[in-house]
Amino acid sequence: MDDSAPALELIGIEKSFGAIHANRSISISFARGSIHGVIGENGAGKSTLMSIAYGMQRPDAGEIRIGGKSVALTGPQDAIAAGIVMVHQYFMLIDRFTVLENVMLGTEPSFGIGRALSTARRELTRLGQAYGLDLPPDKRIRDLTMGERQGVEILKALYRKARILILDEPTSVLSPQQTARLFEILRKLRDAGGTVIFISHKLGEIMELTDRVTVLRHGAVVGQAATAGTSQDALAGMMIGGKVDLGRIGGPAQPGELLLEGRALTVRDRRGIVQLHGVDLKIRAGEIVAVAGVAGNGQSELIQALAGLLPLEPGGETRWRGRSLDRGECNPTSLRALGIAHVPEDSRRFGLVAAFSAAESSILGHHDRPPAADGFRLDRQAIAAGCRTMMDDFDVRPPDPRKRTGSFSGGNQQKLLLARELGQDPDLLLIAEPTQGVDIGAVAAIQARLADLRRRGKAVLLVTSDLDQMRALADRIVVLSGGKIVGNLSPEEASDTKLGLMMGGVAEARA
């Protein structure tokens, strides 16, 4: 292997899926000892390209070189053997296994497992000390925070002696402090001679972390630059072919009628653990209320309870337009009839059905009434036409209602889900991580739609880990820590430092 050659080279990569030309003669060189950002709109070809680099897809044409040597990757095992490891946006961990078991999984020997476990435990201790990843090896994944789970994925890569680490949207569920810690680890990897390929839609992170950045659009490379020699505006312009403004959206709120009120909301998660402790919350027409909190601090349970997916403990009450809702009304079907829509945090698991066509996913929850249903029968023609309109309105690519939902990119699945729920023109939208995995052009469009709901006198409860998005949209920011409200802030008060400390339970503020 030539030590002077780039760590990884993708040369003239071509890949098509039927009529979809996903990668168009892409050539990128990833240097040793560098952090290289790869950005682009949803459907730009990033995921396909990284799947090829990790051996999950075979290119139709082109060449892959590792350390100057041409290789044929027939699967992820070939990539891992060559020193390439990929950390996916959706963690590939087994909840009931321990940290140690997850790290070892796939490398364990056929015989002598006890000795192998002891050796792996020592190596985990060494790696944890070297990279500041002090995770208890016998703790189960289900008991870890999202930041700790990200750490386990990094430990898996280090344990497999990764020289090239591919990270797909790694900060989407992390707090500012957890993101800063991850960046420290990635810089240590770079400084030790490793290569990091960092895929993110957050241009601020690209500017802060990377040494070089490549921009893809419509399956082709449209720009490459040293990060220090470019800007967020320039990168955004290359990504979408025009200017994007992601600053504060809309004027000051003009709150009206009290729509939803939660009183003494106490909620247990699906394991029976209390995650929300006596929370009081009010949402008025014509305002966007954001909920900030590190994953695992109750915000997921709050929005699920308000959407009728988790029951309230005795003593808690939900009121809609001044009327108390009984337990029989606190279910998704009844709440939907009242004018409450819900976009879940994990849209792949709870908002869509991967095996369904896009047209079928576009009517979930609304399938029993016109235009989807004609009496007791589905109107397939009307469903397809409605789905095509949604796809056009929200720029879902490719705009094919017949295509299986699971075969769309994560960002395009998210846009399909948003199109379905916003298309019902709800009075209150409960929405979690609306732009997770979505490109910057779509972020601007989605944020504009949420702001338009407010302008028209609707209400939005927004749960997001994107602090810039909170400040751009929210009229009030409610901060949760340990399942309790520890702060109510205006967007102007909500600096990264202040929010981060409050989310971490270090500081408390009352407005």
pLDDT tens-place string over residues 207-238: 999 999 999 998 999 999 999 999 988 898 88
> What's the Cα-to-Cα distance from 300 to each of 274, 323, 344, 351, 357, rounded to whole Å?
12, 24, 9, 14, 28
Looking at residue 226, its pLDDT comes to: 97
Confidence of residue 60 (pLDDT cuts 50, 70, 90): very high
Provide the residue ranges of all domains of the chain, joining segments of one domain with +.
8-240, 258-339+426-503
pTM, two decimal places = 0.68
Read off the tokens for 159: 């344990």
Instruction: Assess whether pLDDT exceeds 60 at residue 508.
Output: no
Among the residue ranges 140-154, 186-200, 211-225, 433-447, the one predicted with the least confidence is 433-447
**8-240 fold:** Rossmann fold (3.40.50)
Mean pLDDT of the chain: 89
From the list 158, 236, 195, 190, the residue with the least C-alpha distance to 10 is: 195
Read off the tokens for 248: 């504060």
Same fold across 8-240 and 258-339+426-503? yes
Looking at domain 258-339+426-503, its CATH superfamily turns out to be P-loop containing nucleotide triphosphate hydrolases (3.40.50.300)
Instruction: Assess whether pLDDT exceeds 50 at residue 463.
Output: yes
Looking at residue 509, its pLDDT comes to: 45
> What's the Cα-to-Cα distance from 410 to each of 12, 304, 436, 437, rounded to whole Å?
25, 21, 9, 6
Q: Fill in the DSSP letter of residue 209.
A: H
Instruction: Assess whether pLDDT exceeds 60 at residue 510.
Output: no
Strand-pair category, 61-66 with 459-463? unpaired
Give the pLDDT confidence of 2-52 residue by residue, as tens digits.
678 999 999 999 999 888 899 999 999 999 999 999 998 877 889 899 999
12 near 26, Cβ under 8 Å?
Answer: yes
pLDDT top residue among 151 and 289: 289
Report d(CA 2, CA 286) in Å as an integer: 62
Confidence of residue 460 (pLDDT cuts 50, 70, 90): very high
Looking at residue 511, its pLDDT comes to: 38
End-to-end CA distance of the chain: 61
